[in-house]
């Protein structure tokens, strides 16, 4: 499916928002969240640029699964590090092991359903953390109510990530054309929710 001018425009705005977040949206945080958020929004920015330049065909690359895992994994790590001090090290270990597992199951010839199970497990945990943690914090007054938007972004990233990951894994949840049609708008909405959500923390 050919990428349209509107798709490119939406992706450009997404990239600019992600760039803004890397430059100005995470100042003043601790080192680990800064690194984690930089990786998360950086992956989003580079992915947006590559989609603009190469079109949707780039989604056929095996790197897509890796990129679409880096984003939620590092974003969730940043959130946990910032807001749940007791989970910091266990979640850091989970993030590192999870990423390694994704790399190994993508690039080594592993038969059976293990790669899909690993993918689903890691995406689900990371997606749930991004969705649930900000929502709870916003609800119990631990953060401003607007922080719930990060949770909304989490729901969207979980949706997008799963759609892409399962498409790539050969078990699409929606048709390829439908996924590609909604992907740029989904990425933009998700990024917008994150940028606004983080700005009102």
Partner 1 sequence: MPSKNPLSLIKTKFKLYWPLIKSLQTGLLLTTGLAGFLSTHHAPSIPILLQVTGSLFLSISGSTILNMWYDRDIDTVMNRTHNRPLASGKVSQKEALGLGLAFSIIGVGWAMSVNLLYGLIVLAGLFFDVVVYTICLKRRTCWSIVWGGISGGMPILAGRAVALGGIDLIGLLLALAILFWIPTHMMTFSMRYSEDYRAARVPTFPAAYGLEATRAIIALSAIIAAACIGVAGVMIGVQAGFLRLMVVLSAGLLLLSLATVFRPSERINFGLFKYASVYMLASMVLLAL
**Is there a contact between 150 and 198 (Cβ–Cβ < 8 Å)?**
yes
C-alpha 9/C-alpha 133 separation (Å) is 31
Cα of first residue to Cα of last residue in the chain, in angstroms, is 39
Q: Is residue 46 at the binding interface for partner 1, with CB under 8 A as the rule?
A: yes
Instruction: Work out how close the CB of 178 gets to partner 1 at its nearest, in angstroms, rounded to a whole number.
Output: 23
Instruction: Work out how close the CB of 11 gets to partner 1 at its nearest, in angstroms, rounded to a whole number.
Output: 13
Query: Shortest CA distance to 134 belongs to which of 83, 97, 171, 188?
Result: 83
Complex with partner 1: residue 24 or 173, whichever CB lies closer: 24
Complex with partner 1: residue 10 or 40, whichever CB lies closer: 40
Q: With CB under 8 A as the contact rule, which of the stretches 23-31, 115-123, 134-142, 146-154 interacts with partner 1?
A: 23-31
**Is there a contact between 160 and 119 (Cβ–Cβ < 8 Å)?**
no
Q: Is residue 53 at the binding interface for partner 1, with CB under 8 A as the rule?
A: yes
Kindly state the number of chain residues that form the binding site for partner 1, as judged by CB under 8 A.
20
Q: Which of residues 59-78 bind partner 1 (CB under 8 A)?
A: 61-63
Q: Which two three-digit tokens encode residue 75?
A: 């974003």
C-alpha 74/C-alpha 18 separation (Å) is 14
Instruction: Work out how close the CB of 49 gets to partner 1 at its nearest, in angstroms, rounded to a whole number.
Output: 6
Q: With CB under 8 A as the contact rule, which of the stretches 50-58, 112-120, 147-155, 163-171 interacts with partner 1?
A: 50-58
How many C-beta atoms lie closer than 10 Å to residue 152's C-beta?
A: 20
C-alpha 91/C-alpha 170 separation (Å) is 29
Out of 27, 86, 112, 140, the residue judged to bind partner 1 by CB under 8 A: 27
Q: Is residue 19 at the binding interface for partner 1, with CB under 8 A as the rule?
A: yes
Burial of 191 (0-12, 13-18, 19+ CB in 10 A): buried
Residues of the shown chain interacting with partner 1 in the complex, contacts defined by CB under 8 A: 19, 22-24, 27, 34, 38, 41-42, 45-46, 49-50, 53-54, 57-58, 61-63
């Amino acid at each position: 499916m050919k990428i349209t001018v509107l798709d490119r425009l939406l992706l450009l705005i997404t990239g600019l928002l992600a760039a803004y977040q890397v430059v100005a949206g995470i100042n003043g945080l601790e080192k680990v969240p800064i690194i984690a958020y930089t990786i998360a929004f950086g992956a989003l920015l580079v992915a947006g640029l590559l989609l603009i330049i190469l079109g949707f065909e780039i989604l056929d690359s095996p790197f897509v699964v890796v990129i679409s895992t880096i984003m939620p994994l590092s974003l969730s790590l940043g959130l946990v590090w910032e807001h749940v001090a007791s989970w910091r090290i266990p979640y850091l270990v989970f993030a590192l092991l999870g990423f390694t597992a994704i790399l190994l199951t993508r690039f080594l010839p592993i038969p059976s359903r293990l790669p899909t199970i690993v993918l689903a497990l890691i995406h689900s945990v990371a997606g749930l953390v991004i969705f649930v943690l900000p929502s709870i914090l916003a609800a119990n007054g631990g953060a401003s109510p607007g922080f719930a938007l990060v949770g909304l972004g989490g729901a969207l990233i979980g949706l997008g990530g799963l759609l892409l990951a399962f498409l790539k894994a050969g078990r699409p949840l929606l048709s390829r054309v439908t996924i590609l049609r909604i992907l740029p708008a989904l990425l933009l909405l998700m990024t917008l929710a994150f940028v606004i959500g983080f700005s009102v923390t």
